[in-house]
């Protein structure tokens, strides 16, 4: 299914680039995602007992004239091909890629406890300097992180957790080195 959402997102991104509407389409994709990200909408779109025509009628009713033709076509195509349950994940991929094209990189910071605003700003500044792009940071707390934090940017992870340092120390000790 990962390839499926990538293919639909790539096709939509290609159309956005051809039409020169990436910024506008990005706004619409975020609007669609926020609108459809509810239990009722997800339940309707993923219900195999609801026909494709009823799902399309629902999308028409919700979005009426608020979307460009190619954004509506994207939604209709996914529904008609039986992939309405993948709309949100395809939009996630599209949004991430479109943001990169307009110079915004998404990062997720995960730590054992909430970080102070100053800490988040330092992380944002470091990432901004390294990537030479604006950074949008989302934050999660995960009690399984012993201490420190890790940052996910795209498919890369920057690990500054205590656990990773302990693993490095253990491996170093196994090799007989005192450097970690």
159 near 110, Cβ under 8 Å? no
The CATH number that applies at residue 154 is 3.40.30
Tally of structural domains, the chain: 2
Residues 111 and 37 placed together within one structural domain of the fold: no
Q: What is the pLDDT of residue 177?
A: 62
Q: What is the pLDDT of residue 178?
A: 57
The alpha carbon of residue 118 and the mean position of all alpha carbons in its chain are separated, in whole angstroms, by 24
Q: What is the pLDDT of residue 145?
A: 85
If one counts every other C-beta atom within 10 angstroms of the C-beta of residue 19, the result is: 13
Q: What is the pLDDT of residue 3?
A: 86
Domain's final residue, options 68, 100, 132:
100
Residues 167 and 86 placed together within one structural domain of the fold: no
Q: What is the pLDDT of residue 16?
A: 95
Residues 109 and 74 placed together within one structural domain of the fold: no
Q: What is the pLDDT of residue 160?
A: 81
If one counts every other C-beta atom within 10 angstroms of the C-beta of residue 161, the result is: 19
Q: What is the pLDDT of residue 64?
A: 84
Backbone angles phi, psi at 21, to 5 degrees: -120, 30
From the first residue on, what is the mean pLDDT of each consecutive set of 10 residues in the chain (180 residues)? 83 94 95 94 94 95 92 95 94 92 89 90 88 88 87 83 80 72
Under DSSP, is residue 11 helix (H, G, I), strand (E, B) or coil? Answer: helix
Q: What is the pLDDT of residue 1?
A: 59
Q: What is the pLDDT of residue 155?
A: 74
Residues 20 and 82 placed together within one structural domain of the fold: yes
Residues 81 and 134 placed together within one structural domain of the fold: no
The CATH number that applies at residue 89 is 1.10.520.20
Q: Does some domain include residue 180?
A: no
User: 132 is in which domain, residue-wise?
Assistant: 103-175
């Amino acid at each position: 299914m990962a390839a499926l959402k990538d293919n639909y997102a790539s096709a939509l991104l290609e159309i956005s680039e051809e039409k020169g509407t990436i910024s506008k389409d990005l706004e619409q994709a975020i609007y669609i995602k926020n609108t459809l990200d509810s239990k009722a909408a997800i339940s309707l779109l993923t219900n195999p007992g609801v026909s494709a025509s009823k799902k399309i009628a629902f999308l028409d009713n919700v979005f009426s004239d608020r979307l460009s033709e190619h954004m509506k076509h994207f939604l209709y195509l996914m529904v008609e091909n039986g992939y309405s349950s993948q709309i949100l994940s395809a939009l996630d991929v599209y949004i991430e890629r479109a943001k990169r094209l307009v110079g915004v990189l998404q990062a997720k910071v995960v730590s054992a406890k909430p970080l102070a605003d100053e800490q988040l700003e330092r992380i944002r500044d470091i990432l901004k300097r390294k990537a030479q792009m604006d950074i949008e940071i989302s934050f999660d707390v995960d009690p399984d992180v012993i201490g420190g934090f890790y940052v996910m940017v795209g498919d890369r992870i920057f690990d500054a957790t205590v656990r990773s340092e302990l693993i490095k120390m253990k491996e170093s000790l196994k090799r007989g080195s005192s450097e970690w």
